[in-house]
A and B are shown apart, each in its own frame.
Chain A
Amino acid sequence: DQQVKQNSPSLSVQEGRISILNCDYTNSMFDYFLWYKKYPAEGPTFLISISSIKDKNEDGRFTVFLNKSAKHLSLHIVPSQPGDSAVYFCAASDNQGGKLIFGQGTELSVKP
């Protein structure tokens, strides 16, 4: 049972435009969500996170939105840059055991 889902395996965006990556979850016990960026043959790099007590968190070009009623979160990157091209994973935890449950990832391609 996939508790965290990223239904878009890939996304292509023009440089300078907004990239929106989506993530859905099913477990209502999740209360902390994270986005990671990953290049091939490397470990994931932490990008941004959000606690369930918030609905938005912003850090530079990256903003994460959380809609708890819909069990949906999204990562906005604006403006998108070619260096943003990578696979993006969303992850969720219930903060009890510290385990992270990852989505399948979305491969973002930002074209110049």
Chain B
Amino acid sequence: GAVVSQHPSRVICKSGTSVKIECRSLDFQATTMFWYRQFPKQSLMLMATSNEGSKATYEQGVEKDKFLINHASLTLSTLTVTSAHPEDSSFYICSARVRQGLNNEQFFGPGTRLTVL
């Protein structure tokens, strides 16, 4: 299957700093990437949809000025958590969509564990 990587795999930062997470599709081009977050023992919650060359579409309740998404190329999307606070500590996962006919399959990255002190 398609391979999606994320970097870094884990990051610890101080409150008030900004953190950038990269998501790359390694062996395919992804016009659409998605960003999720998962709290312990909970489901994956979609944060935003990132389309190459255009602005991201954010889900209700997600602050676009806090979670900056850039999808500058067909293989790279970045999520920047600005002015991070302890409540932003979570597991962030990206996915890339692969179109196969009418089907819509998403392949996920390994995730990034963010801890804000």
Contact = CB atoms under 8 A, between A and B. Distances in A.
B75 interface: no
A63 interface: no
A42 B104 contact: no
Interface residues of A, number: 23
Contact of B107 (A46, A95, A103): A46
Contact of B102 (A41, A43, A95): A95
Given A34-B105, A43-B95, A100-B34, 12 more contacts: A42-B110, A43-B4, A46-B1, A46-B106, A46-B107, A95-B102, A98-B104, A98-B106, A99-B34, A102-B43, A103-B43, A105-B43
Interface of B: 1, 4, 6, 32, 34, 42-46, 49, 91, 93, 95, 97, 102-111, 113
